[in-house]
Amino acid sequence: MTEPRIVVCVKVVPKPEEVRVDPQTRLLERANARAEINPPDMNALEMALTLKDRLSGTVEILSMGPPYFEPVLRVGLGMGADHIHLLSDRAFGGADTLATTYTLAHGIERLRSVDIVLCGEESSDGATGQVPQGLAEWLNWPQLTLVTELEIDMERHVARGQRSIKGGYEILEVPLPCVVSVKTASNEPRFMDFRLKAQAASPGRMKVWDAAALKTDVNHTGLAGSPTRVSGLASAASRERKRERLTGTSEEIIKALIEVIRNSVM
Ligand SMILES: Cc1cc2nc3c(=O)[nH]c(=O)nc-3n(C[C@H](O)[C@H](O)[C@H](O)COP(=O)(O)OP(=O)(O)OC[C@H]3O[C@@H](n4cnc5c(N)ncnc54)[C@H](O)[C@@H]3O)c2cc1C
């Protein structure tokens, strides 16, 4: 029985509470916000590390983004991941989900002999939830979406995932290799392990891949490969909140409140 080779797609995102909207341009100002691992990807990473605890094998982090993502991604090494692959090139910039998934899928193909790719449910900034499905499509692999628990059977070469449905749960089985998206908050991500400090800092544990190394087609990456266009931007109208203070004795207030509720539901 061979040990599984697991890849976890990790996006580095700005901390949501530190992102500001430029009042003039109305664009997001990400530059001054600190970066972190997309919180749902911590659940995907924890699921991968739990599988490694059980079955051995390797857990590798795959991310597309600029070089300054490196220290953030190294947190994953401190948690127990074995390697990081950062896909980084100016040609990858400005990508929509089509170009992002094309580039990530190329990274997975270049790694070769990957058994399973785990993703978070969605990112906290883009939040399309399209990347796992796009990856499965480019790779032509089966996929399991929104799983809360996952098992890998390397003898039968299958993955079995559990996911919640109305009134219960279902268990789905697909052949390996496959793509899996992990339900947010389905587990408690572990802390960094102080004993892995040297591993987390090791230069040999991180590889940066540019467009030439990935052998990507420039027409499919970055802005050039992104058919999505932001055609307009507008603020959502905020609804005025009504406030009314009820006065009188407790009995009078209760009666008045019942009237208010009755009128509002009629
Ligand atoms: C026209 C256009 C231009 C854009 N330009 C830029 C830009 O210049 N810079 C920019 O940062 N974004 C840009 N974006 C946003 C970009 O499309 C998304 O960051 C990216 O495609 C991922 O989509 P998402 O965030 O919705 O991921 P989701 O589909 O919500 O994420 C699901 C999961 O996929 C994985 N994943 C997603 N993105 C990555 C990644 N990069 N690396 C590894 N794993 C990942 C994670 O596991 C994540 O939990 C642009 C979008 C559009 C439409």
pLDDT tens for residues 92-138? 999 999 999 999 999 999 999 999 999 999 999 989 999 999 999 99
Residue 255 lies in a domain: no
Residue-range definition of the domain harbouring residue 141: 5-225
pLDDT tens for residues 168-198? 999 999 999 999 999 999 999 999 999 999 9
Residue-level pLDDT at 238:
80
Residue-level pLDDT at 19:
83
Distance 257 CA to ligand 1 centre (A): 48
Is 68 a pocket residue for ligand 1 (Cβ < 6 Å)? no
Cα separation, 139 vs 62, in Å, equals: 15
Distance 34 CA to ligand 1 centre (A): 17
Is 43 a pocket residue for ligand 1 (Cβ < 6 Å)? no
Is 10 a pocket residue for ligand 1 (Cβ < 6 Å)? yes
Residue 177 lies in a domain: yes
Cα separation, 70 vs 93, in Å, equals: 16
Quick one: pLDDT band at residue 32, thresholds 50, 70, 90?
confident
Residue-level pLDDT at 31:
74
Residue owning the nearest CA to atom 49 of ligand 1: 120
Residue 253 lies in a domain: no
Distance 266 CA to ligand 1 centre (A): 45
SS (H, E, C) the chain: CCCCEEEEECCEEECHHHCEECCCCCCEECCCCCEEECHHHHHHHHHHHHHHHHHCCEEEEEEECCHHHHHHHHHHHHHCCCEEEEECCHHHCCCCHHHHHHHHHHHHHHHCCCCEEEEECCCCCCCCCCHHHHHHHHHCCCEEEEECEEEEECCCCEEEEEEEECCEEEEEEEECCEEEEECCCCCCCCCCCHHHHHHHHCHHHEEEECHHHHCCCCCCCCHHHCCCCCCCCCCCCCCCCCCCCCCCCHHHHHHHHHHHHHHHHC
Residue owning the nearest CA to atom 48 of ligand 1: 120
Residue 246 lies in a domain: no
Which of 9, 10, 11, 182 for mutating ligand 1's site (highest number of atoms within 8 Å of CB)? Answer: 11
Average pLDDT, the chain: 94
When pLDDT is averaged across residues 75-79 and rounded to a whole number, the result is: 98
Residue-level pLDDT at 166:
93
Residue 19 lies in a domain: yes
Is 60 a pocket residue for ligand 1 (Cβ < 6 Å)? no
**150 closest CA partner among 163, 160, 136:** 160
Residue owning the nearest CA to atom 22 of ligand 1: 97
Residue owning the nearest CA to atom 34 of ligand 1: 131
Residue 93 lies in a domain: yes
Residue 67 lies in a domain: yes
Query: Are 102 and 110 spatial neighbours (Cβ–Cβ below 8 Å)?
Result: no
* Share above pLDDT 70 across residues of the chain, in percent, rounded to a whole number: 98
* Share above pLDDT 90 across residues of the chain, in percent, rounded to a whole number: 83
pLDDT tens for residues 224-254? 999 998 787 777 788 778 788 999 999 999 9
Q: In total, how many domains does the chain have?
A: 1
Q: What is the CATH number of the domain that holds 202?
A: 3.40.50.620
Residue 266 lies in a domain: no
